[in-house]
Amino acid sequence: MIDDGTGLLTIGELARVTGLSVRTIRYWSDEGALPPVARSAGGYRLYDAASVARLELIRTLRELGLALADVCRVLAGETTVAQVAAAHVVALDAQIRSLKVTRAVLSTVAKRGSDAEETSLMNRLARLSAAERRRIIEEFVDEVFHGLDTADPVILERMRNTAADLPEDPTPEQVDAWLELAEMLQDPDFRAEMRKVAEFNAADRGHDTPAGASLWFSRRLVHLGARARERGLAPDSPEAAEVVGELLGDADPAAVLERLRSHATHRVARYRELLAVVKGTGPEAAYREEFAWVVAALEERTGS
C-alpha cells in the first residue's frame, strides 16, 4: 500500500497480496480486464480493494479455461458467467471428443505397429465428418446391392443406416472399431464377399416375399443356435439334427448351408462384430458362435 493515506496498491503490492506475478497483472491490466483506479504522481498504476476482488474473479475464470476476451465481456456486463460457462462447456466437449479420437488412433497405431502411411490413413478416417462416413456406407451398400431388385428392402435399409455415425461420446473401442470398419468397407475383396451374401439374399426371395423375412430367419437361427450351445449340444449329435430340422422346415439343407457359409466367413463375421461395437452393443451381439454352430450342424447333416 502506498504511503499516502489513500489505501491504494501498486502492481507490486497487488502481486504480493494475490500471489500472482507482476507480469500477469500488468498484462491483464493492459488488455482492459483490470483497469487501474488511479495513477501515482510518478505515473504508476494504482488499485483498490475492489480491484483485488476483480483480480480474484479474473484468475478463477482464466483457471477454468475462459479466454481473456470472454472474461472482459463478463466484467463489462455484456454477458454473464453462466452464459460464458455454457458456451465453454460446448467447446470443451468438442475438445474432449477430439482428444478421444486422437487417443484411439494412437492406441491403434501402437497395437498394429503402423507405419507413417497407415497412421495418416487412420487419422483421416477417424476424423471424417458424419456426412463423409455416411458416404462411405452408401457407396458400399450401392455396390453390394446393385441390380438386386429382389433383395430384402429391410436388410438394405438397415445396412444404409447402420454405423454411419459414431456416438456423441465414443469410447476408444468404438473409434477403433470404426477405423477397422471404414477400411473394410472400402476393400474390393470384402465388397465381393458381401456381394455374394446379397446375391443369395436376392435369390431366396420373390417380389411377393414379405419385407423383413430374412431378418426373421436370422433371429430364429441365433435363437436356436444359442439354445443348443447352452444345452451343450455337439453339432454332430442326434439332438443337433433335431434343432436343424426345426430351423429348416421344408428347406433344402444343402442350399441353406451354401448361403450360411457366405454369412459365416471370418470377415463377414468380423463386419457384424465391428458394427455391434460401434453401435455400443458389444461384439457378442454379432452372434459369431451361433452362426458357426448352425453351419457345423448343417455340414454334419449334409455330409459336406
Is pLDDT at 244 greater than 70 in this prediction?
yes
Asked whether the whole model's pTM tops 0.75, one would answer: no
Q: Give the integer Cα–Cα distance in Å for 197 and 138.
A: 17
Q: Residue 23 pLDDT more than 90?
A: yes
C-beta contacts of 238-246 below 8 A and 24+ residues apart:
240/297, 240/300, 241/297, 241/300, 241/301, 243/297, 244/294, 244/297, 244/298, 244/301
Distances 148 to 122, 137, 258, 261, 284 between C-alpha atoms, Å = 32, 17, 19, 20, 30
User: In the structure, what pLDDT confidence band is assigned to residue 236 with cuts at 50, 70 and 90?
Assistant: very high
Look at residue 22 in the predicted model and tell me its pLDDT. Answer: 93
Residue 195: name the closest of 237, 141, 119 by CA: 141
pLDDT of res. 143: 92
Residues in the chain: 304
Which of 303, 152, 150, 304 lies closest to 218, judged by CA?
152
Residue in 159, 152, 160 with CA at minimum distance from that of residue 204: 152
C-alpha cell at 83: 452464459
- What confidence score (pLDDT) does residue 163 get? 58
In whole angstroms, what is the distance from residue 215 CA to residue 206 CA?
15
Identify the pLDDT of residue 168.
67
- Does the structure show a pLDDT above 90 at 24? yes
Check: CB of residue 300 under 8 Å from CB of residue 240.
Answer: yes
pLDDT tens-digit map of 76-129: 889 888 888 888 887 787 777 777 777 777 777 777 787 887 777 677 776 777
Secondary structure (DSSP) of 136-176: HHHHHHHHHHTT-TTS-HHHHHHHHTSSSS--SS--HHHHH
Give the per-residue pLDDT at 112: 74
- For the cut 90, the answer to whether the pLDDT of residue 264 exceeds it is no
Q: Would you say residue 3 has pLDDT above 60?
A: no
- 135-192 pLDDT per residue, tens: 888 899 999 989 888 888 888 888 887 755 667 667 778 878 888 888 899 899 999 9
Chain mean pLDDT for the chain: 83
Report the C-alpha gap between 244 and 207 in whole angstroms.
27
Residue-wise pLDDT for 49-80, tens only, equals: 899 999 999 999 888 888 899 899 988 889 88
DSSP collapsed to 3 states, 18-87: HCCCHHHHHHHHHCCCCCCCEECCCCCEEECHHHHHHHHHHHHHHHCCCCHHHHHHHHCCCCCHHHHHHH
pLDDT at residue 259, as a whole number: 82
- At 6 the pLDDT is 62
What is the distance in angstroms between the CA of the first residue and the CA of the last residue of the chain?
Answer: 96
Least confident range of 39-48, 116-125, 213-222 = 116-125
On the question of pLDDT at 25 being above 90, the answer is: yes
Mean pLDDT of all residues in 207-221: 80
Lowest mean pLDDT among 14-23, 39-48, 143-152, 258-267: 258-267
For residue 230, what pLDDT is reported? Answer: 92
CA-based radius of gyration for the chain: 32
Model confidence at 282, in pLDDT bands (50, 70, 90)?
Answer: confident
Residue 300's Cβ-count burial label (10 Å; 0-12, 13-18, 19+) is middle
